[in-house]
Each structure stands twice: as structure tokens, then as C-alpha cells.
Amino acid sequence: MHVTHDADAGAAPPIAFDDFLRVDIRVGTIVAAEPFPEARKPAFKLTIDFGPTLGTKRSSAQITEYYTCEALIGRQVAAVVNFPPRQIGKFMSQVLTLGFPDADGKVVLVSPDVTVPDGGRLF
């Protein structure tokens, strides 16, 4: 799976609404965050609680520029929960935590403005 971070790229080609519905984006609360020194690029290992139905999932996230492990605990984030797990070194990343690049390409997390129930699906 290749994820592009090119903010100058044009819009992606049109897709059908059903294609959008196939991407399962959920909100969860970060319950644990730790450094990931083995990663090629600076990253954290996150444990995210997606509520009683999905439970907790792990994610590797390259978000070290704006966030500390301590500040991430309790923060709600959005993540794609239906990609296949991805092996990153010895760590299995189960979800893709979502963010946008700032002007310098550093990742800024996607979060709801108001606390919402964990596990809620983006629509």
C-alpha cells in the first residue's frame, strides 16, 4: 500500500459513492503511545480504542513533529480500520491513522472538534 503525501497533486479521479463506503474510517481514542525507534522515519506506536465493537487496534504513525507520547493519550483520532494489517519492522500496524500535511509536509492529525463516541464511522 503506497500512501502519497503530495499536497500539490491534482484531485484523484472520480469514484462511485459505493467505493467511498468501502473505506471504513472510524474515530478512536489513543490509550497508549510509545516511541518507535526501530522505524526508518520517526514514528510512534499507538494503541487506539475504537469502542466495544472494534476494540483496541495498533498503529504506527509518523507524527513526531507536533506531538509527544504524553500529549497523545486521550486524544481522539480518525483511522482507516479495514486495510489489511501492515508489518513495519517487528510491529504490526492494524489501522491507518489519518492526518494532513502542513506546509512543510509534517503530519497534523485529523480529530473531531467535539468528543464523540469511540467507534463512530465517518460519513
46, 97 Cβ separation under 8 angstroms: yes
User: What was the pLDDT predicted at 66?
Assistant: 97
> Roughly how many angstroms between the first and final C-alpha of the chain, as a whole number?
23
Q: Where are the domains of the chain?
A: 18-103
C-alpha cell at 61: 504513525
pLDDT in tens, the chain (123 residues): 335 456 567 899 999 999 999 999 999 999 999 999 988 899 999 999 999 999 999 999 999 999 999 999 999 999 999 999 999 988 999 999 999 999 999 999 999 999 999 999 999
User: What was the pLDDT predicted at 10?
Assistant: 87
Q: CA 107 to CA 25: how far, in whole Å? A: 18
Q: What is the pTM of this model?
A: 0.90
43, 63 Cβ separation under 8 angstroms: yes
User: What was the pLDDT predicted at 89?
Assistant: 86
User: What was the pLDDT predicted at 8?
Assistant: 65
Domain 18-103 in CATH 2.40.50.140? The answer is yes
63, 39 Cβ separation under 8 angstroms: no
Q: CA 41 to CA 115: how far, in whole Å? A: 30
